[in-house]
Structures are given as C-alpha cells and as structure tokens.
Structure 1
C-alpha cells in the first residue's frame, strides 16, 4: 500500500490498496492509517542510529588496556604488582602513540578501558558522553518523503490458542526478507487469556574483521567475549535484548536485526485465548 503525502502526525491511504476493498474494509483503512501515523515517529528513532553509527554505537570500545599497577586491588582480588615493569616494546609503543595494546604479565587482572571513538575523531565526538543529536542529523520520514509518499507492506497476524493446543512454541529467528525493507513495526492491539508476548532481538557480528583491527596476545580472547558477547569458536551472533510486548504497545526496529517471537501460552487452560498483531514493513 502507498501512503500519499499528508500532514505530520497523520497518514492517508490511497483510495484503493492491495487486498483492501474500499467499501468492505472501510473501517480497516482508518485503523491502518492511525497505526502507521504512530509508527513513523518511532521509525525515525529506530533508523537514526543506523544513519549515524558514530553517534549511536551501542558498544563503545577500543583495544583493551590493562592497568600496570593495581594500587586499589584488594588482597582477595589478586596479588599486587609493585614491581611491574613495561617491556621495551611496550615502552616504545607508548612513546610513539602506537595502537598496540599493553598487558600486564597476568592478563587476567586488568581492567578494560573502553573508549567510544577513534582518537582522531575525539574533537568531533567527545568521549565524555553521548553527543546530543541535532535536529538536522536525525531521520525525519515525513520531511524526506512528503513529496513522494511512502510504500508500506501491512500484514495481519492472528494467533488462537485452545485447551487442546494451549501453547505457542514461538517463531523462528529471521530478518524480513525483502531487499528494500528498512524497518519493521508490530502493534499488539488485542490480547486475551494469554501470557505476556515477548520479542527477542539479535544481530550478526563480524568478530573476525574486528580482530584484524586489534592487537592482543595470542589466546587472550577474554576481552572479545566481554565486548562482543561471542564465545571463542562459537557463533558470531550477538544476543541483544528481549522486550515485552503487552497489549497496546507498538514496537519498531531497523531491518538489520534478527527477531524472534518468544513462546507463550494460555493463562486459563480451560478457555481459549487469542492475540492479534498487525505488522508493518517500511519500504524505501
């Protein structure tokens, strides 16, 4: 369906949309327009970090740097290194400003020092805290598409459970498959006699590429697991978050994330229950 230009905070479907009869589904036109109008501001928020990754890195880091002198470490946390000395290579790296990471002889005792941006960009993107977004930096779908309108795919999903089938096993991990879908939205508008709906999110991470940009002792993978959330020899997929989606909540996310609807079941197993969720996919 195509959303033609409209005033902000509202949207208007064309007189005829695919699979929607203008008379039989007249009420559905109005409801769909309202849901889309409320999804667009959230899509703006979801897509802004994708456009401005340096501003919105979820994990801010550089190579790990371990403390050479652990003055504040208690006896129970490990031995003190009063006589710790840097090697010749470490001194040279520090003097020359090399990106090579330093480690103490006991690499398990250090503390990770995480920095948000590369040193040559610190003036533009201060590391003290997140940079405030300026209005001209954020995504504004209304402004950018007010002339041509938007193309949106809408899908209605209804799940019915019965005493004979009291559980929903959950969906599969997936990304919406169309090439030009850039963001998704789901709205839990009607739920009865079902436990809380939850949606999990994860993303693929190119850990091997990140490793090539880092210098660290052979076999020292502890910091990689802490930063990237991926185990050595395991899958390069990062689990991000699982979000509750109770009745009345609208969720949006960029189409770079995999998602999975989590299992749920009947609250009262002697009665039927249902959940009705329209899904919207923004096409660019």
Structure 2
C-alpha cells in the first residue's frame, strides 16, 4: 500500500484496460482510429482514449480523492498537468506507451501508472499486455517482476562496464539539429545505442539488467515517473542533465539513467554534452 493506494488493484486495473480496450484493437485499427497529435510521429488511437477512460472511471475506488493525470486527459486540458506538483495524491497514467508501435502493429507497447504523493513518486507500474506481466516498484521496497501466476522476481540493474562496452537507449529526436548531430556522433563511443520508441519496455529491460543506460530529453510525467522509480529501486542512478534529482514537477532538463554514478558521469561527460 502506498499512501492509501491499493497497488495490486491498480496493477489489475491496467490489465483490465488492456484486455478490454487495447488488445482487441491491436492490428485491428481502422484508418479513422488513428490520429496525429503534434506531428506525424506523435499519434493517438481509439485504444489510447478508451483505455484511459476505463482507468479514470475506476480510479477513485482505488485511490480515493486522488488527482487523475492521464496523457490523453492532459492533451484535452493542458492545465491539468499543473496540478501534479501540489497534489496530496495523484495517479499518473499512460494508457498506451509506444502508440506509434501499437498503431504500426509492432508488439512493443505498454501501460504505465505511477503514484505521486506530495511531489514524490512513491509507486510505479509498467504492464506488458502481450507478456501479461507487471514490473512494479514501491519506494524503498525494490523493483519486482510480477507474473499472473503470483510469482515474483526481484530486479537489479546490470553491473558497470567501460563506456566502450555500454549498450543503451537514447531518445535523440527532441534535440535541435546541431545538438543532435553532436550527440549522435558521441554515441559512437558506446557499443550500441538504440531506441525502441517505447519507454515502458526500455525501462523494463534496463531495470532487469539488459541495458547500461537510458537517455531522454522530453520529460512528460506519464512517460518517466514509473520507470525512473523502478530503475532506482533496481539500483540505478538517475538524474537530470545538470545532476539534479528528477521529480514529478519537472518537464524539462533531460534525464539520464545509468547503472551507477560513475557510469552516469562518464556518459554525461563523453556522450551527452552539447
């Protein structure tokens, strides 16, 4: 239980939304079911909106009095996001993370939720509808892979490796052209840098020890609160580019996660400096 929120019930609600509203539409979308938001790579589908409506309709029973902040709700009412910093309790939801993949029929998307209490992320959940399992963390209690049969496995980030051997995820699309050119050149210093266009799965595999770093520039809370807490509970070091702690109220400043502080420093110095 995190600040009067039933985390198991919240996890089950994400699963219910996926079963009822997301999976039936996967690879079954009509042309009118997919719409562009801000640009061609920023999409919303009927599944996103229907899943968020279902979650929102049930949230008061799980987190009484909580402010509900969903990606699609904020798209409709941008002022809503301003309530996050001062809310006693808030539930932040991304009904489909990886919408571009989902709309393209790629099996790489997830459902995310986080619990924020007085400006601190206290719980995070990332549900994989196709794998039918959850990665869950509550602050101070570790990060766990939870399977539908009830089994649980504690997650831990990878051990540190030299910069030249690092494999990680880097979302470079929100840099300006000149800065992007510099960063993408610097990424030649690591072994592999990729992007799954799905933070949900990037955080899951990072927390499970299969990546050495993650970098994001655009900081929307539904994309990063759950994953950052999960990564930290799995042993990662996470901070904004200036070294400050990432908090729910932050919408800018970049975000870099690494297996430890020394690796973070090396990545910031050698790769993600423009």
Greater helix proportion: 2
- Computing the radius of gyration over CA atoms, which structure comes out larger, 1 or 2? 1
TM-score by length of 2: 0.20
TM-score by length of 1: 0.19
Q: Which has the higher contact order (CA 8 A, sep 6+)?
A: 1
